[in-house]
Chain A
Amino acid sequence: MKDEQEEAILSLRNVGVFYKRRRGIFGEQFWALKNISFDLYHGETLGIIGRNGVGKSTLLRLMAGIIKPNKGTFVNRGYYTSLLSLQLGFIPYLSGRENAILSGMFMGLRKKEVKAKMDAIIEFSELDDFIDQPIATYSSGMKARLGFSVAFQVDPDILLIDEVLGVGDAEFRQKSTKIMQEKIRSNKTIVFVSHQAGLIKQLCNRVVWIEEGISKAEGQADEVLKEYHQFLHLS
Chain B
Amino acid sequence: MLTQKLNTLLRYIELILYKTYADLKAETKRTYLGFLWWIFEPIMYMSVFYLFFGILLGHKTDNYVPFLLTGLTAWQWLKSCISHGTQTILGASGLMQQVNLPKVFFPIILILTDSVKFLFILTLLLIFLWIYGYGINITYLALPALLIVQLLFAMAITFFLAAIVPFLPDLRFVVENVLLALFFMSGVMIRSDIVPEAYRDYYYWNPIVVIIESYRDILMHHNWPDGSALFLIAIISLICVWLGARLIARFEYIYPKIML
Binding site for B on A (CB under 8 A): 17, 19-20, 23-25, 61, 64-68, 82-83, 85, 88-89, 91-94, 98, 101-102, 105-108, 110-111, 134
Q: How far is the CA of A105 from the CA of B14 in the complex (A)?
A: 9
Contact indicator A19/B260 (Cβ below 8 Å): yes
Partner of B95 from the list A68, A101, A106 (CB cut-off 8 Å) is: A106
Q: Knowing A23-B169, A91-B23 are in contact, say whether A64-B99 is a contact too (CB < 8 A).
A: yes
- At the interface, yes or no: B257 with Cβ under 8 Å from chain A? yes
Contact indicator B29/A65 (Cβ below 8 Å): no
Closest residue of chain A to B166 (Cβ to Cβ) is A23
Contact indicator A102/B19 (Cβ below 8 Å): yes
Mark contacts of B6-33 with chain A using CB atoms, 8 A cut-off: 1 yes-contact digit, 0 otherwise: 0000110011001100110110011000
Interface of A is mostly: loop
Chain B residues within 8 Å of A94, by CB: 22, 25-26, 29
Contact indicator B101/A91 (Cβ below 8 Å): no
Contact indicator A82/B99 (Cβ below 8 Å): yes
Chain A residues within 8 Å of B10, by CB: 110
Partner of A65 from the list B15, B100, B169, B257 (CB cut-off 8 Å) is: B100
Count of chain A to chain B residue pairs whose CB atoms are closer than 8 Å in the complex: 74
Contact indicator B253/A23 (Cβ below 8 Å): no
Q: Knowing A101-B18, A105-B18, A106-B15 are in contact, say whether A66-B95 is a contact too (CB < 8 A).
A: no
Contact indicator B253/A67 (Cβ below 8 Å): yes
Chain A residues within 8 Å of B253, by CB: 66-68
Within 8 A of A (CB), among B94-115: 95-101
Binding site for A on B (CB under 8 A): 10-11, 14-15, 18-19, 22-23, 25-26, 29-30, 95-101, 167-169, 253, 256-258, 260
Contact indicator B167/A91 (Cβ below 8 Å): no
Contact indicator A88/B98 (Cβ below 8 Å): yes
Contact indicator B11/A110 (Cβ below 8 Å): yes
What is the distance, in angstroms, from A37's C-beta to the closest C-beta of chain B? 20
Chain A residues within 8 Å of B96, by CB: 66
Q: How far is the CA of A25 from the CA of B58 in the complex (A)?
A: 53
Per CB-CB distance, the 4 closest pairs between chain A and chain B, nearest first, are A93-B29, A85-B98, A93-B26, A68-B253
What is the distance, in angstroms, from A135's C-beta to the closest C-beta of chain B? 11
Partner of A67 from the list B15, B19, B26, B256 (CB cut-off 8 Å) is: B256
Write 22 A-B pairs (CB below 8 A) sorted by A numbering.
A23-B167, A24-B167, A25-B167, A64-B100, A67-B256, A67-B257, A83-B99, A85-B98, A85-B99, A88-B95, A88-B98, A89-B19, A91-B22, A91-B26, A93-B26, A93-B30, A105-B15, A105-B18, A106-B95, A108-B11, A110-B11, A134-B29
Chain B residues within 8 Å of A23, by CB: 167, 169, 258
Q: How far is the CA of A93 from the CA of B27 in the complex (A)?
A: 8
What is the distance, in angstroms, from A61's C-beta to the closest C-beta of chain B? 7
Q: How far is the CA of A105 from the CA of B10 in the complex (A)?
A: 12
Chain A residues within 8 Å of B260, by CB: 19
What is the distance, in angstroms, from B91's C-beta to the closest C-beta of chain A? 13
Q: How far is the CA of A134 from the CA of B25 in the complex (A)?
A: 11
What is the distance, in angstroms, from A88's C-beta to the closest C-beta of chain B? 5
Q: Knowing A19-B257, A24-B168, A91-B22 are in contact, say whether A106-B100 is a contact too (CB < 8 A).
A: no
